Amino acid sequence: MNEPADARALRVDIPLRADVPLPDSDRLAPQRALLTEAFRQEAAGAERPAPVSLPRRRFVLMTAAAATGLVVTGGLVATLSDDDAAGTARATTTTPAGRRLLSAQASADTLELAAATVEKLGATEPGPKQWVYEKTTSFDEGTPRSAEHWTRWDGTGAAQLPGVPGVGDTSDFDPNKVQVRYFPNQEEKWKKEGYDDRSQRQFYRFLATLPSDPDRMMAAIRKEHALGDIKGETTAQRDWREIDVLYRSVLIPPNAQAGLFRALAKIPGARVEKGIEDPIGRAAIGVTVTYAKATGSGWQGKQELFFDPETYVYLGESRHAAPVEIPEWAKDAQGPYASASPAPGTDPDVMITARAAWGVVDKPGERP
């Protein structure tokens, strides 16, 4: 069968024998670059010939998530199907407010574009005496609360604002004054004890050694990271939990950022939402997963990670717990069962947080 030249250029031949290894990132790089440019042109509305139907044998964008059929998120029920016979992505689901929940393939395309974008970024590691700054905004029953944190790169200092009073006499304590603490260098101790705790420098350097291939990267993270296993948790659920925690690191090397986006694309049920805002009102895209049944960790409901729609930097996250189901026999019970269900009108969110500002500075109290 004759196929367009553009389609041949984008094709990646995948060996079908079990004894032949899958292509590595270097082999996939040219096709990835072509796909990235095609996505950029489409996003910019560039005039070009009729879209090419990509072959089904694509390796870069095929994900395990494509097999999932149904997801429920924010009151929206959308049927999410695999590619059609031509290998093109099906239409997204759009709400009246403009939120768009992408199909499995469109989500994978978006996450690959994000990965291809961030892995081109340069990276300069801070000096040992520099400080990583982060301002976060969290919400307590809808009320925003902001805090600022400074962490010294070598792990020997930490500062915060507002300050937190310590033990003893606090009569002259000023919460509006930056509170700075210094510690002995613990990097060698942490290394010898198995990295149960690490300085930001150690953690950054660990991430920098990881391959951007998502399967190998997540296998290395599961082996080295100190989250621990939870009985009954699937590998995909563990990977989401790992990724969620990793994004709370302010500085992540470009190779690891790219690998995390590709790993998200491989989590069954993970989808991209467009036309949304992050918790503090900035334009964003979201990567969301909804657990209809409780996971091994006991979580049930929707979780979403927010990213800038152009630079793909991490902006924050939200978790919306599923309503607690009370058995009929316990609905009229007294004691502990009486408080098991949320009060009417309360917000079921268990966590909403945004990274409002971040950067590297030379001393605590400075801001980028």
Of how many residues is the chain composed? 368
164 or 10, which is more confident?
A: 164
Nearest partner of 309 among 125, 100, 135, judged by Cα = 100
The CB density around residue 296, as the number of other CB atoms within 10 Å, is 14
Whether 263 contacts 217, CB under 8 Å:
yes
Percent of the chain scoring above 70 in pLDDT: 64
Whether 106 contacts 92, CB under 8 Å:
yes
Give the pLDDT score at 76: 29
| pLDDT of 21 higher than 50 | no
Give the pLDDT score at 123: 87
Q: Alpha helices, DSSP H only, in the chain?
A: 5-10, 25-44, 104-118, 187-192, 200-208, 214-224, 235-246, 254-265
Query: Hey, is 193 helix, strand or coil?
Result: coil
269 or 343, which is more confident?
A: 269
Nearest partner of 153 among 54, 227, 29, 250, judged by Cα = 250
**Domain locations in the chain as residue ranges:** 1-60, 131-361
Distance from C-alpha of 344 to C-alpha of 355, rounded to nearest angstrom: 30
Give the pLDDT score at 321: 84
Distance from C-alpha of 316 to C-alpha of 159, rounded to nearest angstrom: 21
228 or 110, which is more confident?
A: 110
| pLDDT of 329 higher than 70 | no
Distance from C-alpha of 226 to C-alpha of 214, rounded to nearest angstrom: 19
pLDDT digits (tens, 9 = 90+) for 23-70: 444 444 444 444 444 444 444 443 334 433 333 222 222 222 222 222
pLDDT digits (tens, 9 = 90+) for 211-246: 878 999 999 988 876 677 788 899 999 999 999 989
- CA 337 to chain CA centroid, Å, is 35
Q: Please name the helix (run of DSSP H) or strand (run of DSSP E) that holds residue 359, with its range, or none.
A: strand 349-361
216 or 322, which is more confident?
A: 216
Q: Please name the helix (run of DSSP H) or strand (run of DSSP E) that holds residue 285, with its range, or none.
A: strand 283-291
The phi, psi pair for 94, rounded to 5°, reads: -115, 135
Distance from C-alpha of 61 to C-alpha of 110, rounded to nearest angstrom: 9
b/e code 47-81 from CB counts within 10 Å (16+ = b)? eeeeebebeeebebbbbebbebeebebeeeebebb
Distance from C-alpha of 345 to C-alpha of 322, rounded to nearest angstrom: 14
For the ranges 160-174, 236-250, 311-325, the lowest mean pLDDT is seen at 160-174
Mean per-residue pLDDT, 278-286: 96
| Token pair recorded at residue 348 | 């079921």
Give the pLDDT score at 366: 97
Give the pLDDT score at 328: 56
